[in-house]
């Protein structure tokens, strides 16, 4: 008698677990759009200064300056005719890169983008940003829970923050 | 406002790793630009871009207004074989969305 009861209990527990997992998966798929928007760090992207943006994004503004990060800005380097699309390329010898943030110090809102990388992603990472005027472009990388910061100065002929 | 141009992904296997290049069609208005009549164009920019490989999320990019018009990205994924599916989804601040998919040949 008790044996049979136990068996039933097993089956019940098993079913209950798989049902709840399924529900979880389904709901996570359904609520994706809201989750996407809710996770946009508004404070970080609307901050006026580099320090504020980093504080809002990473919770700290202090970081280690490091030359292990290869960071190319502009083409030819350090110069851009049109600030509306300035190529940026980031490469690093660091392992376990978790996050990369790109900031432009003279832009109205310095934080240009923030990327979260899974272990599958390899650098170099390339993309284009807008630069309002001659300024310093900063790349902050979090790898192995440490922050590394590199910056490059760039000259811009036509500002591109319109 | 409908966005007519299409998003494009190019993927290539190179020395065992997958190179992914993405070009999204989006005006990326910062809210500071003006049209020909001198009126401000309201802000419209992509906020969130996500990338999946075979249903596994590999990369999340959060953008501010300082991302250039028609955003371009390129990055590498470790490993990869023919038949891999890469999917990109984006959402902008007004809720417009886009999906682009490509298969590794």
Structure confidence by residue, pLDDT tens digits, B54-86 = 888 888 888 888 888 888 888 888 888 888 888
Sequence ranges of the domains in chain B: 8-103
In this complex, is the C-beta atom of A61 within 8 Å of any C-beta atom belonging to chain B? no
pLDDT, residue B98, reads 85
Q: What is the pLDDT of residues B7-26, one digit of tens each?
A: 888 888 888 888 888 888 88
Could you tell me which CATH number the domain at B8-103 has? Answer: 2.60.40.10
Residue B52, pLDDT > 50, answer: yes
- Tally Cβ neighbours within 10 Å of residue A29: 8
Q: What is the pLDDT of residues B83-94, one digit of tens each?
A: 888 888 888 888
Which residue from B62, B65, B95 is facing A109, i.e. has the nearest CB?
A: B65
B71 interaction partners in chain A (CB closer than 8 Å): 127-128
- Residue numbers of chain A with a pLDDT score lower than 70: 1-39, 60-67, 160-162
In this complex, is the C-beta atom of B64 within 8 Å of any C-beta atom belonging to chain A? yes
pLDDT, residue A113, reads 86
Q: What is the pLDDT of residues A73-87, one digit of tens each?
A: 777 777 777 778 888
In this complex, is the C-beta atom of A113 within 8 Å of any C-beta atom belonging to chain B? yes
pLDDT, residue A10, reads 64
């Amino acid at each position: 008698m008790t044996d049979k009861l136990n068996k039933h209990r097993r089956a019940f527990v098993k079913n209950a677990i798989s049902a709840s997992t399924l529900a979880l998966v389904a709901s996570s798929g359904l609520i994706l759009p809201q989750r996407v928007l809710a996770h946009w760090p508004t404070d970080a992207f609307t901050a006026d200064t580099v320090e504020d943006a980093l504080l809002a994004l990473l919770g700290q503004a202090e970081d280690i300056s490091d030359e292990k990060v290869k960071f190319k800005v502009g083409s030819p380097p350090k110069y851009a005719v049109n600030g509306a699309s300035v190529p940026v390329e980031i490469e690093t010898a660091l392992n376990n890169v978790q996050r990369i943030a790109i900031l432009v110090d003279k832009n109205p809102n310095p934080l240009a983008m923030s990327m979260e990388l899974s272990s599958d992603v390899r650098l170099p990472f390339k993309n284009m940003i807008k630069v309002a005027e001659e300024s310093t472009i900063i790349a902050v990388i979090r790898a192995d829970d440490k922050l590394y910061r590199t910056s490059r100065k760039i000259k811009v002929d036509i500002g591109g923050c319109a | 406002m409908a966005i007519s141009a299409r998003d494009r992904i190019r993927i290539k296997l190179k020395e065992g790793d997958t190179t992914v290049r993405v070009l999204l069609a989006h005006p990326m208005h910062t809210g500071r630009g003006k049209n020909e009549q001198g009126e401000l164009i309201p802000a419209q920019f992509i906020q969130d871009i996500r990338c999946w490989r075979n249903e596994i999320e590999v990369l999340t990019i959060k953008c501010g207004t300082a991302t250039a018009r028609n955003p371009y990205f390129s990055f590498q994924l470790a490993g990869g074989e023919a038949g891999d599916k890469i999917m990109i989804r984006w959402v902008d601040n007004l809720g417009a969305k886009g999906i682009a998919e490509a298969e590794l040949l």
